[in-house]
Structure 1
Amino acid sequence: MPTTTRARRLGRLALLAILLAGPVDAQAADPNLLPAAPAYARNPGCAPARIALPPATHALPGGVAISPRPADIPVGQGDSAICFAYATADMISQRVGRAISPLDVATKFYFADPARLATLRDGRIAAHLRAHPHYLADIAWSRNAVDIAKEHNPGLEPYFDRLEGGEEDAAALLYNLDGLCDERDLPSHEGYAHFTRFFLAARYGAVVRAPRMCFRSTGATVDKLRSRRADAVNDAWLREVARRCRRRPSPVPLLPVSYRVAANQLEFMDLLEAGTPPGRAQLDRMLAMVDYALDHGRAPTIGYSWYILEERDPKDPDLAADHSSTVIARRKVGGRCQYRVQDNTGEYCARMRPGIRERCDNGRIWLTEAELRATLYSVIYLR
């Protein structure tokens, strides 16, 4: 066989092997864990920092087309209200070096059995659980704080795609169960848009299946997220997720560190109205945690108000607008510190507030320290 022919065939085989192997990790996961309780301090001089996230292929709803420039925009939540899952997925993706599915993060947060965490053999996870002995109660509290959307859901059934909100640290801890699911396996761009027909069919079939329901895979969650009809739909969803996800073990344990001055934006606003806003030391601590994470190669997630980015519609009944984003960079402009957040709503920069829209590029926005201090209420990063 001529050398050139052999080389071509070997080249084709190598290319085929790469394609079959799936996406190449953007970076190797850092095997080292950060200390559980470090001494936090602001970065002196607000030195430039940038955290690279692994690129994701955004499968577009309604077809098999792939976004031609997927790294240009974050995976968007569409009409869903689970920004916590998208921000947590970004945080985890950066930690493990793979783009994982936000819908899988949300699924585990709502329905995974938290008692199984204690059965994991990783000693580092066991040590984390011993250091946080109330984790089962915390997860139950965060699930009970979930809202159920009324739209197309007059019975307020806790169907998976009607659930709203969640906690990033609980979601990250629960994601230690059962391994990673890539975004390309369970596409999450535009929220539930890829699975509209699935949920319509599942709800239609639930009328038949629900009366004969027994204890199913949703049994480990809180009563608020269960009903006879919803159990049938959510069980079908869990089986669909299991069918789609080609899971692989995480290269590192996912151990969240968190700090909050309020549980959500409404509670934060109540503090302001009561004349007891978070003190300067508390806000300094949160920003110091953001600096610490960035300086140690981690992408922290923050809880803040969406109304920083976009003005509230006077007809919007929600006075508070909880939002969660991953912080991916830091810089100093005009002698003041700015942080770049990765928005996951899919909102256009042109619709954002004057001054904000000029600092927005494809869903990634530079916010000043003063803007963050006005509504920042939580910080989470992975050790």
Structure 2
Amino acid sequence: MFERDVKRAGRAGNVRSACGALLLLLVAGSATPAQGVDPRILPATPRYVRNAACAPVRIAMPPGTHRLPGGPLISPRPAEIPVGQGDSAICFAYATADMISQRVGRAVSPLDVAGKFYFADPARLEALPDPALRAHLRAHPGYPADIAWGRNAADINPVGNPGLQPYFDKLEGGEEDAAALLYNLGGLCAERDLPSHEGYAHFGPTYAALRFSAPVRAPNQCLRRVGATVDKLRSRRADAFNDAWLRRVDALCRREPLPVPLLPVSARVAANQLDFMAMLEAGRPPARTDITRLLSRVDYALDHGRAPAIGYSWYILQDRDPKDPDLAADHSSAVIGRRKAAGRCQYLVQDNTGEYCARMRPDIARRCDNGRVWLREDELRRSLYSVIYLR
């Protein structure tokens, strides 16, 4: 988002703060670094180079606390499988939550990450006191417009939603860097408090009830929790629903201050996977050196103790169903390791779809273990279009 290698047309204007400050998202400054949290802030403009030796590295992820829907028990062995997005289409929030979790040493809730991306007020960032964050914002003055662009680019799922209302659980897509930046607001919410394994499955009855009750109970006023988002994500019914959902989140989350500020750095060669495919079809694919520069950032992040998120195509992992209307399968995942095998550099990608390894391409399945897949560099190069990491 902040170091775009592509120009975006029709960029939305600054996000309007229609209803003043958010009541839900309280200002939270940086706290004393928690035990095990790296207090270092990486340079804003480092020199990116490939790790020529492809030296082995494995990024430690904080213990998960996810559980299956319908049960109160926390997984006794959560490290064996990543939190899965289920039927949701917000992989950006799961990859961003992985980045944040690794940075702060706590497993944070992807649903909370998504809620802040869609509805948090970017104007509140200016009030945060952390000097590193304030310097980061000054260096990237276009962040409000970038956030608005990402929100306007979100899709609305029509399934069970004939009116195309922008209900929270019907929103699809988002930007990892914007989501990470907005997560500086209000403190972190642990996955234990707001379970996100299998997407929205834990809250199906809640959403069903709010579809009917929220518009009736909503006060006849602008709802402050959603008043600062873009017009595309607002309507009378959706405002009431989304405000009620964010109140529910507020009640469930025992928020804690972030131990370090979240300062995202990103680069890309295409706006998204569909744009990447269009470049290929037009006979102007990204230069090999451009993809190498992206991989240099992956190496830099891993070598400095960060788990970067990458944008790529899910179809690298699994064959496309001919009946699937999604031609691009735009996907986002965290990278948590690197190794050299059979003379080739491989990267350990933490898939968050919850898909079984056995359903993946045979060669990929042999390098997959409970959703964590070793991808060769040449496989990544086929569709890699973005890299984001936290300084």
Q: Give your verdict on TM over 0.5.
A: yes
Q: Give the match for residue 194 of structure 1.
A: 202
Do residues 305 (structure 1) and 313 (structure 2) align?
yes
Aligned with residue 186 of structure 2, among 140, 153, 178:
178
Q: Give the match for residue 23 of structure 2.
A: none
Alpha-carbon separation, structure 2, partners of 1:67 and 1:249: 25
State the TM-score, normalized to the length of structure 2: 0.90
Do residues 281 (structure 1) and 289 (structure 2) align?
yes
Q: Which runs of 5+ in 1 are unaligned?
A: 1-24
Letter in 2 for 1:92: I
Q: Give the match for residue 314 of structure 1.
A: 322
Aligned with residue 77 of structure 2, among 64, 69, 94:
69
Letter in 1 for 2:385: Y
Q: Give the match for residue 28 of structure 1.
A: 36
Do residues 81 (structure 1) and 89 (structure 2) align?
yes
Using the TM superposition, give the Cα deviation of residue 250 of structure 1 relative to its aligned residue in structure 2, in angstroms.
0.6
Aligned with residue 223 of structure 2, among 181, 200, 215:
215
Residue by residue over 1:241-297, the C-alpha shift from the partner in whole angstroms, topping out at 9 and shown as x without a partner, is 111111111110000010011111000000101111111111010000000000000
Q: Give the match for residue 18 of structure 1.
A: none
Q: Which has the higher contact order (CA 8 A, sep 6+)?
A: 2
Do residues 40 (structure 1) and 85 (structure 2) align?
no
Alpha-carbon separation, structure 2, partners of 1:344 and 1:58: 13
The secondary structure found in structure 1 opposite 2:363 is: coil
Q: Give the match for residue 60 of structure 1.
A: 68
Alpha-carbon separation, structure 1, partners of 2:223 and 2:186: 21
Asked whether the 8 Å contact 1:327–1:341 carries over to 2, the reply is: yes
Letter in 2 for 1:247: R
Alpha-carbon separation, structure 1, partners of 2:34 and 2:92: 23
Q: Give the match for residue 49 of structure 1.
A: 57
Letter in 2 for 1:205: S
Asked whether the 8 Å contact 2:218–2:240 carries over to 1, the reply is: yes
1:27–1:319 Cα change, 3 Å: farther
Do residues 354 (structure 1) and 362 (structure 2) align?
yes
Q: Give the match for residue 257 of structure 1.
A: 265
Asked whether the 8 Å contact 2:223–2:243 carries over to 1, the reply is: no
The secondary structure found in structure 2 opposite 1:169 is: helix
Do residues 141 (structure 1) and 141 (structure 2) align?
no
The secondary structure found in structure 2 opposite 1:236 is: helix
Do residues 152 (structure 1) and 135 (structure 2) align?
no
Using the TM superposition, give the Cα deviation of residue 210 of structure 1 relative to its aligned residue in structure 2, in angstroms.
5.7
Do residues 367 (structure 1) and 375 (structure 2) align?
yes
Asked whether the 8 Å contact 2:214–2:244 carries over to 1, the reply is: no
1:270–1:229 Cα change, 3 Å: same
Letter in 2 for 1:258: S
State the TM-score, normalized to the length of structure 1: 0.92
The secondary structure found in structure 2 opposite 1:284 is: helix
If you compute each CA radius of gyration, which structure gives the higher value, 1 or 2? 1
Using the TM superposition, give the Cα deviation of residue 68 of structure 1 relative to its aligned residue in structure 2, in angstroms.
2.5
Using the TM superposition, give the Cα deviation of residue 150 of structure 1 relative to its aligned residue in structure 2, in angstroms.
0.7
Alpha-carbon separation, structure 2, partners of 1:214 and 1:221: 12
Alpha-carbon separation, structure 1, partners of 2:83 and 2:223: 34
The secondary structure found in structure 2 opposite 1:212 is: coil
Higher fraction of helix: 1
Q: Which runs of 5+ in 2 are unaligned?
A: 1-32
Letter in 2 for 1:189: H
Using the TM superposition, give the Cα deviation of residue 342 of structure 1 relative to its aligned residue in structure 2, in angstroms.
0.2
Asked whether the 8 Å contact 2:125–2:185 carries over to 1, the reply is: yes
Letter in 1 for 2:338: R
Using the TM superposition, give the Cα deviation of residue 198 of structure 1 relative to its aligned residue in structure 2, in angstroms.
0.5
Using the TM superposition, give the Cα deviation of residue 63 of structure 1 relative to its aligned residue in structure 2, in angstroms.
1.8
Using the TM superposition, give the Cα deviation of residue 26 of structure 1 relative to its aligned residue in structure 2, in angstroms.
10
Using the TM superposition, give the Cα deviation of residue 215 of structure 1 relative to its aligned residue in structure 2, in angstroms.
3.5
Alpha-carbon separation, structure 2, partners of 1:154 and 1:261: 35
Using the TM superposition, give the Cα deviation of residue 209 of structure 1 relative to its aligned residue in structure 2, in angstroms.
3.7
Asked whether the 8 Å contact 1:260–1:377 carries over to 2, the reply is: yes
Alpha-carbon separation, structure 2, partners of 1:243 and 1:43: 45
Letter in 2 for 1:157: Q
Q: Give the match for residue 104 of structure 1.
A: 112
Asked whether the 8 Å contact 1:349–1:363 carries over to 2, the reply is: yes
Asked whether the 8 Å contact 2:215–2:236 carries over to 1, the reply is: no
Using the TM superposition, give the Cα deviation of residue 213 of structure 1 relative to its aligned residue in structure 2, in angstroms.
4.6
Asked whether the 8 Å contact 1:216–1:231 carries over to 2, the reply is: no
State the superposition RMSD in angstroms.
1.3
Using the TM superposition, give the Cα deviation of residue 27 of structure 1 relative to its aligned residue in structure 2, in angstroms.
6.0
Residue by residue over 1:110-147, the C-alpha shift from the partner in whole angstroms, topping out at 9 and shown as x without a partner, is 00000100111111111000100100000000000000
Alpha-carbon separation, structure 1, partners of 2:34 and 2:365: 29
Letter in 2 for 1:69: R
Letter in 2 for 1:56: G
